[in-house]
Copies of this chain bind each other. A is one copy, B any other.
Amino acid sequence: MTVKLDQLDRKILRELQRDASQSLDEIARTVGSSKTPVWNRIRKMREGGVIKRQTVLLEAEALGLEACFFVLIRTSEHDAAWQQRFLEALRDRPEVQEAHRLAGEIDYILKVVVANARAYDAFYQALISEVKVHNVTALLSMEELKSGEGLPL
Given that A62-B50, A140-B103, A151-B60 are known contacts, is A19 also in contact with B146, CB under 8 Å in the complex?
no
Give the total of A residues in contact with B, Cβ under 8 Å: 62
Contact B70 A109, beta carbon cutoff 8 Å: yes
Contacts of A99 in B (CB 8 A): 144-147
Interchain CA distance A56-B60 in the complex, whole Å: 19
A141 within 8 A of B: yes
Given that A97-B149, A140-B103, A149-B94 are known contacts, is A51 also in contact with B56, CB under 8 Å in the complex?
yes
Interchain CA distance A67-B40 in the complex, whole Å: 29
Name the residue among A10, A16, A53, A91 with the largest chain B CB count within 10 angstroms: A53
A37 within 8 A of B: no
For residues 113 through 139 of chain A, which have their beta carbon under 8 Å from a beta carbon of chain B? 113, 139
- What is A's interface to B at a CB cutoff of 8 Å? 2-3, 5, 10, 13, 16-21, 48-60, 62-63, 65, 68, 70, 87, 90-91, 94-104, 106, 108-109, 113, 139-153
